[in-house]
């Protein structure tokens, strides 16, 4: 198991994931404080300290808005919950330009959706109204924490409240 640590901005906005080693360095330099610990410890020559699980920076970091971040296949799949936005399938997933590139569509967050290969082929280079195929949800930039979900295999219970999950 990797010792991943959730990093929050000074405003408690999720920023990214770092290693426990990096989190410890930030804490010793007094650039961050631990909000949650993992229950495990790291040892120095003289002391034992709890390993952080969530840290908050003591200063604000300006982050580019999600719509400014580069569009990636992984991020689009995660945003669309790994399901075709036309039929709901989870098999043979591809990326589809809602307004096809051949018709002037751009590669932007609001023009790309996850599509299964059969739906993508059926839609072809037609507009949604021409094909009678409309995405189930309006494409948009992903939530800021979507990029954190891409960095780890699973979201830890201790991270959930900082990522907007219902606590249960």
Q: Could you tell me how far CA 53 lies from the centroid of its own chain?
A: 18
The residue range of the domain holding 122 is 66-131
Q: Is residue 103 part of a domain?
A: yes
Q: Is residue 168 part of a domain?
A: no
Model pLDDT for residues 64-105, shown as the tens digit of each residue: 665 567 888 888 988 898 999 999 999 999 999 999 999 999
| φ/ψ (deg, to 5) at 23 | -60, -40
Q: Is residue 136 part of a domain?
A: no
Q: What percent of the chain has pLDDT over 90?
A: 59
Rg (CA), the chain: 20
Q: Are residues 71 and 120 in the same domain?
A: yes
d(CA 127, CA 79): 22
Over the chain (168 residues), the average pLDDT of each successive run of 10 is 84 90 95 94 88 96 70 87 95 97 94 97 96 95 73 81 67
């Amino acid at each position: 198991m990797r010792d991943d640590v959730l990093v929050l901005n000074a405003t408690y906005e999720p920023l990214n994931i770092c290693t426990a080693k990096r989190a410890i360095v930030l804490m010793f330099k007094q650039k961050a404080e631990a909000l949650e610990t993992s229950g495990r410890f790291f040892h120095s020559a003289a002391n034992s300290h709890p390993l952080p699980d969530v840290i908050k920076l003591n200063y604000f970091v300006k982050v580019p808005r999600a719509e400014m971040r580069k569009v990636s296949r992984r991020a689009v799949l995660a945003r669309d919950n790994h399901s075709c936005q036309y039929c709901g399938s989870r098999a043979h997933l591809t990326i589809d330009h809602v307004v096809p590139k051949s018709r002037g569509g751009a590669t932007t967050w609001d023009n790309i959706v996850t599509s299964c290969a059969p739906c993508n082929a059926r839609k072809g280079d037609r507009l949604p109204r021409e094909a009678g195929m409309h995405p189930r949800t309006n494409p948009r930039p992903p939530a800021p924490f979507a990029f954190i979900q891409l960095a780890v295999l699973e979201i830890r219970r201790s991270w959930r409240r900082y990522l907007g999950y219902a606590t249960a």
